[in-house]
Chain A
Amino acid sequence: MKKNLVMRPVMLAALMSIGLSAAHAQGSAADGIAKYREMLQDGNPAELFEAKGEDLWKQKRGPKNASLEQCDLGKGPGVTKGAFVELPRFFKDTGRVQDLETRLITCMETLQGFNGEEIAKTPFRQGEMANVTALATYVATQSKGMRFKLPQAHKQEKTMFEVGKRAFFQRAGTHDFSCASCHGSDDKRIRLQDLPNLTKNPGDGIGFAAWPAYRVSNAQMWGMQLRLNDCYRQQRFPEPKFGSDVTIALGVYMGVNAKGAESIVPAIKR
């Protein structure tokens, strides 16, 4: 926490430089963010969440007093390296396609004895949900620099891609927005914020390959579940339930589209 406090003035300066560069150049906020990343090379705040996640992964916890070290994230019990860039994927034991966050909750339930349903209903950044985010940051970081290659061999994985594609283009709500309203074409901005085109591979460390990420604007660590939740809020849609199939399907759609994109987790975002 102390480390976090010390960083605040640096963040403020970086944010100001983001604002200034935008004012000068009408250019992308990405330049400012890149500068900010450089300044934080030795102290990315996301690393605090990664460290917390590593502790949680190894610590004996829950009613069963067990660690998560035998959690199977798709590449066998305990294998974390490379697991993230192949998620969401189908899991035989649960009979469903799962993303990193929902899979972690399954492990917390089966290995540690937590109540998964209760965790899934916990608001973001609170209680065990905050731990899920930290764990996701840790596990995802084990695949830093690796390229997305989601499996599409299982029928349910293929189905979820098709469902995700349809959810992506679903127009509804008071504003008739869909995901594609903002993320359907190249080189667009909302205000000064660059928008990735998520109907294809938008590039290394962009879009799906940029989460989980530390958000400078609110000093919070966000996983993909919260990222999607806030997108739907801005779309004027009702709230997607945590881990619901629409969120998993969108993960499959974006992840398959991002094939070959390098994961830069843990990322820093505006």
Chain B
Amino acid sequence: MNFKQLTTSMAIVAVAGLTATSAWADFDKITADVVKKSFQDKGTVKVDRLDTDEANRLCSAADVKGKPLAKKVAQKIEADNLKTIKWPAEGKFLGDWKEGEKIAQSGRGLTWSDAAGTPNGGNCYNCHQISKEEISYGTLGPSLYNYGKLRGVTDPSAAASKAIVEYTWGKLYNSRAYNACSQMPRAGHMGILNETQLQNVMALLLDPASPVNK
């Protein structure tokens, strides 16, 4: 009966005494044990990918309960994540929008089927409308078409643009700084995109010459 031994975690499920009051915590514990036994390394992806931070744990628990986080908890997550943001060297927020478009298009990188060293994409179009030319876009996130134009950015280096330029950098770098349980990947904080790539995506969104702002 080798196959029966393949997964032994059901034994945990069977022995756990579930009383009404402790059931919730017990289910959390059983889930943690099940998850620990269910995954394996593959390619460049190791099981330590599952070791996540407190914010993810709190947001997941809130999702299971179907209730948003308490305001105080959310504010703490946002404040902690805001501190992680690394601002660009020499205040250079914008790069090349053409390169940014390529990054926005690419969904490559960091899966177990990606070769080590594959440049990561931003996966942006999977969830957002961005330029008008690309009609194959997802709707999980809001449309970013005319992102800079709608926010009145005519000269990204002008003092009047400073607040929105900085917010956009921060949002790309670590979305949780502004929304505790944001569904958006933390592109800078988690090392998905490097500084140059972020500058290029910034240009795609904010450069008046970018097709996004036409």
B-contacting residues of A (Cβ < 8 Å)? 22-23, 26, 94-97, 102, 105-106, 109, 115-120, 155-156, 159-160, 162-163, 165-167, 169-178, 180-182, 184, 187-193, 195, 233-234, 236-241, 243-247, 249
Residue of A nearest to B57 (CB): A171
Provide the bound-state CA to CA distance between A184 and B181, in Å: 14
Interface presence of B171 (CB below 8 A) = no
Provide the bound-state CA to CA distance between A182 and B140, in Å: 7
Most chain A CB atoms below 10 A, which of B39, B52, B59, B192: B39
Contact of A162 with B27 in the complex, beta carbons under 8 Å:
yes
Known contacts: A156-B13, A159-B16. The answer to whether A167 contacts B34 by CB under 8 A is yes
Interface hits, B93-123 → A, CB 8 Å: 110-113, 123
Residue of B nearest to A97 (CB): B10
Residues in A with CB closer than 8 Å to B16 are 159
Q: Give A172 Cβ to nearest chain B Cβ, in Å.
A: 4
Known contacts: A120-B6, A159-B16, A176-B186. The answer to whether A236 contacts B34 by CB under 8 A is no
Interface presence of B50 (CB below 8 A) = yes
Contact of B56 with A176 in the complex, beta carbons under 8 Å:
yes
Residues in A with CB closer than 8 Å to B51 are 172
Contact of A169 with B49 in the complex, beta carbons under 8 Å:
no
Residue of A nearest to B58 (CB): A171
Contact of B190 with A174 in the complex, beta carbons under 8 Å:
yes
Residues in B with CB closer than 8 Å to A180 are 63
Provide the bound-state CA to CA distance between A26 and B63, in Å: 31
Provide the bound-state CA to CA distance between A179 and B18, in Å: 26
Residues in A with CB closer than 8 Å to B191 are 174
Residues in A with CB closer than 8 Å to B209 are none
Interface presence of B46 (CB below 8 A) = yes
Q: Report how many residues on chain B are interfacial, defined by Cβ distance under 8 Å.
A: 58
Interface presence of B22 (CB below 8 A) = no
Known: A174-B190, A193-B138. 10 other contacts (CB 8 A): A26-B135, A95-B14, A163-B34, A189-B139, A241-B6, A244-B7, A246-B34, A246-B35, A246-B39, A249-B31
Provide the bound-state CA to CA distance between A119 and B3, in Å: 9
Residue of A nearest to B11 (CB): A95
Residues in B with CB closer than 8 Å to A181 are 140, 183
Most chain B CB atoms below 10 A, which of A115, A178, A244: A244
Provide the bound-state CA to CA distance between A166 and B137, in Å: 29
Residues in A with CB closer than 8 Å to B45 are 236-239
Q: Select one of B3, B14, B37, B138 contacting A120, CB under 8 A.
A: B3
Q: Give A13 Cβ to nearest chain B Cβ, in Å.
A: 20
Contact of B38 with A240 in the complex, beta carbons under 8 Å:
yes
Contact of B63 with A190 in the complex, beta carbons under 8 Å:
no
Interface hits, B16-56 → A, CB 8 Å: 16, 18, 23, 27-28, 30-31, 34-35, 37-42, 45-47, 49-52, 56
Q: Select one of B10, B31, B41, B49 contacting A96, CB under 8 A.
A: B10
30 residue pairs bridging A and B, Cβ less than 8 Å apart:
A22-B135, A109-B2, A120-B6, A156-B10, A156-B13, A156-B14, A159-B18, A160-B13, A163-B27, A163-B34, A172-B51, A174-B110, A174-B191, A175-B190, A176-B185, A178-B60, A189-B139, A190-B126, A190-B138, A192-B135, A192-B137, A193-B138, A237-B49, A238-B40, A238-B112, A243-B6, A244-B7, A244-B34, A244-B39, A249-B34
Known contacts: A95-B14, A109-B1. The answer to whether A245 contacts B111 by CB under 8 A is no
Residue of A nearest to B111 (CB): A233
Residues in B with CB closer than 8 Å to A246 are 34-35, 38-39
